[in-house]
Structure 1
Amino acid sequence: MVRLTVHLIAKSSNYSKTCRSESLQQYLKKLTHLNFSNKSIEEIDDLSRCRNLTVLYLYDNQISQICNLGFASNLTHLYMQNNNISCIENLSSLHKLSKLFLGGNSITVVEGLDELKSLKELHVEGQKLPRGEKLVFDLRSISSLSETLCILNISKNNIDELWDLAPLRKLTHLYATDNQLQDIQELETVFSQWSQLRLLDLNRNPVCHKPKYRDRLITALKCTETLSRQFLINWKASKDAKKKLDDGKDVKERIANPLTTDFRVGPQHPFAHERSSSLSKPSEYGKPGVTFRVHGDSRGKRYEQSKCLLSC
């Protein structure tokens, strides 16, 4: 069994470079960032000598339990995605924790977050759930996060409703792709509670096939005025670009077939080119005023959005 211990830290290359100038005790006391990702670690040992630790990377390991972190009162970022964790526990002492990454584990209930009064980002996407089960939320934890949580990633968790998340009124970014959301009335009610929502991604949910789902969700959002106006502007621009593209194809077909060529046709219309990008990493989340992109309907249209983004 590979355990994360102070001796393992002592063997790390970073300490080896400084061991001649300071003792292990001094090194551990000064340590603020610790990266032991993808090291086949199964257990966290006593690291209480690392009292000034602020960022801990333990993703891509084989850890089954969150433990021995009670000392880390200065920890602000904890990365434990892609492990074997089944329960969120032993985090009550991490009062300064602002970002928690637990995606790709075996968690069935989002709980144990009651004391995390500084948590702004929570990532629990892609849990390895038992067949037919969905990720559920402990109401005490959600209530405790209602004044702080801004970014939530719950994608790929077989979730079919969002009622329990309604208290998260400070939410600005929600990633809920690849779930089973389909009740548009429920979504309208929940979204109407989130006055600060700026990015919403519901791609690959059944609700995306509902008639006029986008119009209804835009109306429910509190950022309706900015979103709707920009949406209509971009829709018209997209429609005009498509018309130019179709006209250009028409010209090519006429030239290719001399029997139907119209020699009075003027200059060929230019083809519209579209730049695209995606928010693929947690570190790339947008800030107010930054241009976001909206992924369009099943025909692949995309609309640029100045302040709010609806992707579904």
Structure 2
Amino acid sequence: MVRLTIDLIAKSRNHFKKKRGLSLPQYLKTLTHLHFFSKSIDDIGDLSVCRNLTVLYLYDNQITHICNLGFASNLTHLYMQNNNITQIDNLSNLQKLSKLYLGGNRIAVVEGLETLCELQELHLENQRLAPGEKLLLDPMSLLSLAESLCVLNINNNNIDEIRDLTVLKELQHFSAADNRLDNMEELEDVFSHWPQLLQMDLGGNPVCKKAKYRDRLITEVHSLEVLDGREIHDLTRQFLINWKASKETKKKKNNNKHVMTGSLTNDFNARQGPGPVTSTATPTCSGLSGHKN
């Protein structure tokens, strides 16, 4: 077991060089960046003396729980991708956090983000889930991020619908490649609520094989500059927008024409009234009854 502690920091050659004559307590109080990636760390100890910590690199380790970070109220960047984390918790005090990297863990439900109102980037790609399991995002956490989140990466997580993401109206970069998204109408509806969206990657989803997939998204999201790694040129966008408008206008005219024709036909039939009634009764012989032989 390797635990991240003050002693481990003191023994680190990288940090020892930066002390520059300071005592360890003095150095730890001035520490803003802590680099302990790829060190086989599986637990986080008491680092509360590092009160000015703003960036923490702990990726490519063996950490199973996020813990003992409540002291880091100045933390803005947290890199914990490629660990063994199963649950997002103990982040409530990190209210200045702007970038959170948790890709490549074992997280099945994204929750515990309700207090992170300044979070701008959330990276959750490539979770190592059980067979048949998909990444779920808690609606309350999403709602708390609605005014701040600009970047969301949920690549390769068996996701088949994203309707709950509609509230993220400030999104600029969205990556959901290699999932199971297949409903074109749902995607168009969600993306219509993201007026700031600049870049999007949906490559590797079944929906990409739908007819006019790219054209439909370009005309739906006018701010989009890059789709699935390919730049969108202004001339292409304008052509597609004009084509869509022309198609809708033609469809509207045809519908109006159909409605008008049906109305005239109904009016004509109403004016004609019921047709003549042909009697099939057998004439009587009452007029011959007074004839005498």
Normalised by the length of structure 1, the TM-score is 0.73
CA contact (8 A) 1:194 1:222 kept: no
- Asked if residue 183 in structure 1 is aligned to residue 183 in structure 2, the reply is yes
Give yes or no for the alignment of 1:55 onto 2:55: yes
| Other structure's SS at 1:100 match | strand
Aligned-CA RMSD value: 1.8
Question: Aligned residues: percent identity?
Answer: 63
Shift in alpha-carbon separation, 1:18–1:129, aligned structure 2, 3 A:
closer
Contact 2:202 2:228 in 1 (8 A): no
Aligned residues between the structures = 236
SS in 2 for 1:219: helix
- Structure 1 stretches of 4+ moved >4 Å: 292-296, 302-306
Partner of 1:41: 41
Deviations 1:70-100 (A, max 9, x none): 0000000000000000000000000110000
Q: Structure 2: how far apart are the matches of 1:141 and 1:293?
A: 27
Distance in 2 between the 1:201 and 1:293 partners? 8
Q: Deviations over 1:88-131 (max 9, x none)?
A: 00000001100000000000011000000110000000000110
> Which of these two proteins has the greater Rg computed from alpha carbons?
2
1:132 aligns with 2:144: no
Instruction: Tell me what 2:145 maps to.
Output: 145
Pairwise CA distance, 1:294? 4.8
Displacement after TM superposition at 1:139 (Å)? 0.5
CA distance in 1, matches of 2:220, 2:227: 17
Query: 1:56 & 1:294 partners in 2: Cα distance?
Result: 32
The amino acid of 2:105's aligned partner reads N
**Rounded Cα–Cα distance in structure 2 between residues aligned with 1:110 and 1:158:** 14
Alignment partner, residue 5 of structure 1: 5
Matched-pair contact (CA < 8 Å) for 1:15–1:27 = no
Structure 1 position 14, deviation (Å):
3.2
1-structure distance, mates of 2:233, 2:11: 49
Report how far residue 305 of structure 1 moved.
4.3
**Distance (Å, rounded) in 2 between the aligned partners of 1:18 and 1:35:** 12
Secondary structure at the residue paired with 1:94?
coil
Corresponding residue number in structure 2 for 1:88: 88
Listed as ranges, the gaps of 5+ residues in structure 2 are 238-293
Residue 170 of structure 2 aligns to a residue whose secondary structure is coil
CA 1:212–1:35: 2 relative to 1, 3 Å: same
Gaps of 5+ in 1: 228-291, 297-301
Please tell me whether the aligned partners of residues 76 and 96 of structure 1 are also in contact (alpha carbons under 8 angstroms): yes
Q: Distance in 2 between matches of 1:183 and 1:293?
A: 21
Q: Residues 110 and 21 (structure 1 numbering): CA distance in 2 closer, same or farther, change over 3 Å?
A: same
Which amino acid in the other structure matches residue 123 of structure 1? Answer: H
CA shift, 1:20, in A, is: 6.7
Distance in 2 separating the partners of 1:303 and 1:78 = 31
Q: Give the distance between the partners of 1:11 and 1:199, measured in 2 at CA.
A: 43
Q: Is the contact between residue 294 and residue 305 of structure 1 (CA under 8 Å) also seen in structure 2?
A: no
Distance 2:183 2:5 in 1: 48
Q: Which residue of 1 aligns with 2:174?
A: 174
CA contact (8 A) 2:102 2:123 kept: yes
Match of 2:196 in 1: 196
* Cα distance, 1:304–1:64 mapped onto 2, change above 3 Å: same
